[in-house]
Copies of this chain bind each other. A is one copy, B any other.
Amino acid sequence: MAKTINRLRVVIVGAGFGGLAAAKRLAGHNVDVTLIDRRNHHVFQPLLYQVATAALSPADIAGPIRAILSNARNVRVVLDEVSAVEPACRIVHLTSGRVIHYDALILATGARHSYFGNDKWAANAPGLKTIEDALAIRRKVLLALEQAETEEDPERRQALLTFVVIGAGPTGVEMAGAIAELARRSVSRDFRSITPHCSRVLLVEAGDRVLPSFPPKLSAAAASSLRKLGVELRFGDPVSDVGAGYVAVGHELILAQTVVWAAGVQASPAADWLHVERDRNGRIIVGADLRVPRRGEVFAIGDTASLAGPDRRALPAVAPVAKQQGKYVADLILGRRVRLFAYHDYGNLATIGRNSAVIDWGRLQLSGFIAWLIWSCAHIWFLIGFRSRLTVSLGWLWNYLTYQRSARLITGEIPALPQPGHAQPIERKCA
């Protein structure tokens, strides 16, 4: 596949875990790489929930793509968005109007949340995929606490202090645990009218247990940790409606100002660009070497690709799959390897608050504090760049020792708070 005179042009779309791994593997080799992303930064998504709950700053878990690839002189980073792909001409069209030619194309465009056809829920139940998503949720949670502090009407105050997380996969479990710590513990000394116990945090799951991709024993351990943090678990009914200030679960109407969506994802529109077959989550069904069918020079990796593992189930949408696939495709393009892609599963982790996590290593299953320590070390280790590792470690240590949340900033304009009535003396009020 390598050309000798004209260098091979490799175009990578998306600088998530998969795209970045491919770019790093191709760095320094005799190919011209163009990495296109519509953001200027790579995000360490597993810790996004800590930005959403004010424990970390965006720059702690995100770094400029250019800086990460600064020394990769054969890699050019382009801040732009792909609008279309013309596989017949091997051309990528960008929204700026520019076009880029490729000899090999790697689609690593990731996924967005899916509302199962109810896109109007998005306005009131934001999901968590980008820095902007995280800042919007942080703003929403912190503003609800501020408004509750001055709200006189007990029912309205309770709605402001009710936080609902929809979906009990790893993201939902982590969000619910972190919101419970923030709303029920960290800020407790800072408010005068509301007390921590006024806050309700609900985790809503249509299935019958949290962390359905983990063994039942670990689900039970996680559920127990969540309950200790004060999270109410609600199983068995799907969400039937979400609107401004409420969420309907089965036949129950829950009044809640803050609703977070962690229930489903949908692949980005890479399959549309190529008009190829996709699975029900919109992912391109790729061959065992990650090539798009009938397009030998186009590859799809990470959340963009659908590939069955040895157990015939689709590989999970996690960072290690994307990274391994990025490296594999890069090796394939460099002519290095001929075997088919095989995913090496090094285990499955999820965390619940400041003292507890669950780890599934197949035969060995861990939960509790030891699992949490391993989870912390693993996440700091995999963070991009020394600076972030050090900052995040210190931030966590500080949060752990003090129960403080250091990034509790509400940015953007503060909306007018519609609260008629006269100022009251300082007293605790709780429904």
- Complex interface: stretch among A169-177, A187-195, A263-271, A371-379: A187-195
Tell me the smallest distance from the CB of A112 to a CB of chain B, in Å: 14
A38 x B414 contact (CB < 8 A): yes
**Chain B residue with Cβ nearest A189:** B70
In the assembled complex, the Cα of A282 lies from the Cα of B102 at a distance in Å of 60
A391: interface (CB < 8 Å): yes
A418 x B96 contact (CB < 8 A): yes
A67 x B411 contact (CB < 8 A): no
In the assembled complex, the Cα of A187 lies from the Cα of B69 at a distance in Å of 12
Q: Which 10 A-B pairs have the closest CB atoms?
A: A66-B190, A59-B407, A57-B57, A96-B417, A64-B408, A79-B146, A97-B420, A40-B410, A57-B59, A100-B423
A324: interface (CB < 8 Å): no
Q: Which B residues lie within 8 Å of A81 (CB)?
A: 414, 416
A409 x B58 contact (CB < 8 A): yes
**Chain B residue with Cβ nearest A71:** B189
Q: Which B residues lie within 8 Å of A387 (CB)?
A: 398, 404, 406
Tell me the smallest distance from the CB of A103 to a CB of chain B, in Å: 13
Q: Which B residues lie within 8 Å of A420 (CB)?
A: 96-98
A41: interface (CB < 8 Å): yes
A336: interface (CB < 8 Å): no
Decide yes or no: A32 and B426 within 8 Å by CB, A60-B57, A414-B79, A414-B81 being known contacts: yes
14 further interface pairs, Cβ-Cβ under 8 Å (given A39-B414, A57-B59, A78-B149): A39-B410, A40-B146, A59-B406, A59-B409, A67-B408, A79-B146, A79-B150, A79-B410, A97-B418, A98-B419, A98-B422, A101-B423, A387-B398, A394-B394
Q: Which B residues lie within 8 Å of A411 (CB)?
A: 58, 131-132, 135
B64 x A423 contact (CB < 8 A): no
Query: Chain A, 36-74, contact with B by CB distance < 8 Å: what is the 0/1 string?
Result: 001111000000000000000111101110110011011
Which of chain A's residues 389-417 have a Cβ closer than 8 Å to chain B? 390-391, 394-395, 398, 404, 406-414, 416-417
**Chain B residue with Cβ nearest A65:** B190
A421: interface (CB < 8 Å): yes
B76 x A426 contact (CB < 8 A): yes
A409 x B41 contact (CB < 8 A): yes
Question: B67, B407, B421: which contacts A190 (Cβ < 8 A)?
Answer: B67
A288: interface (CB < 8 Å): no
A213: interface (CB < 8 Å): no
In the assembled complex, the Cα of A199 lies from the Cα of B38 at a distance in Å of 24
Query: Chain A, 85-106, contact with B by CB distance < 8 Å: what is the 0/1 string?
Result: 0000000000111111100000
A34 x B423 contact (CB < 8 A): yes
In the assembled complex, the Cα of A63 lies from the Cα of B410 at a distance in Å of 10
In the assembled complex, the Cα of A404 lies from the Cα of B425 at a distance in Å of 50
A80: interface (CB < 8 Å): yes
Question: B34, B95, B426: which contacts A416 (Cβ < 8 A)?
Answer: B95
In the assembled complex, the Cα of A71 lies from the Cα of B404 at a distance in Å of 13
A142: interface (CB < 8 Å): yes
Q: Which B residues lie within 8 Å of A135 (CB)?
A: 411
Decide yes or no: A191 and B66 within 8 Å by CB, A391-B391, A422-B99 being known contacts: yes
A187 x B66 contact (CB < 8 A): yes
